[in-house]
Structure formats: structure tokens, C-alpha cells
Amino acid sequence: DVKVTQSSRYLVKRTGEKVFLECVQDMDHENMFWYRQDPGLGLRLIYFSYDVKMKEKGDIPEGYSVSREKKERFSLILESASTNQTSMYLCASSSPPGPTNEKLFFGSGTQLSVL
């Protein structure tokens, strides 16, 4: 069964801390994504990566960075956490565009609270 694993289910951090959210997929997918989910706002794309060491900004990259040193791992970094970054963070992966559909496989999410 395909799997996208996020390292933490719940995380509580203090304002100003550096926070790492880790995501690993076992499907050999090229594309990986980080979204945040907030009530009433749906999913908003923070960053995505279509290859190792490649990254692209999504719709709301401010305050975040990412790292993709290995194909299976995509990390989201909050350089200095702020209370407005309290949210559910979802990682996803997909295979490259082709004749099949580009469906996403999601992790279970990390609920981050910044105090």
C-alpha cells in the first residue's frame, strides 16, 4: 500500500523557535507538496518540489522554506515560528504528468500549535 508519512501528528512550539516538519513517501514519486489547511480556507499550497534539490514557491511561501535532499523526503522549515503559523500541515506526493491522472497521495497531517 502506498504511503506518505509525516513524522509528527501533533506538535507544540514556542514563538521564535525553528520548526522542522518531515515527510517521507515510499512510492518513488517525483513531485512532493506542502499544504496548510485552515478552517474555511481549505488547502493552500506553501511549496512544492518536482525533483531532488528543486523547489518552487506555492501560494503562501512567506515564513517557510523547504529542503529536498533525497527523493523520498521533503522537509518544511519554519525559520522563526509565529502564532499565525498555527495550522494543520499536509504533505502530499504524486507521480509526474502523463497519460494517467496526477492524483495526490496525502499524509495524515501535522497539527502545529505555536504558543
Q: 3-state SS of 19-88?
A: EEECEEECCCCCEEEEEEEECCCEEEEEEEECCCCCCEECCCCCCEEEEEEECCEEEEEECCCCHHHCEE
Q: Among 12, 41, 52, 54, which residue sits at the site for another protein (rule: CB under 8 A)?
A: 41
Q: Among 45, 61, 77, 86, which residue sits at the site for another protein (rule: CB under 8 A)?
A: 45
Cβ closest to another protein, residue 34 vs residue 79: 34
- Contact region for another protein (CB under 8 A) — 12-20, 37-45, 63-71, 75-83? 37-45
**110-114 and 73-78 beta bridge pairing:** unpaired
Q: Which residues bind another protein (CB under 8 A)?
A: 4, 31, 33, 40-43, 45, 48, 58, 90, 92, 94, 96-97, 101-109
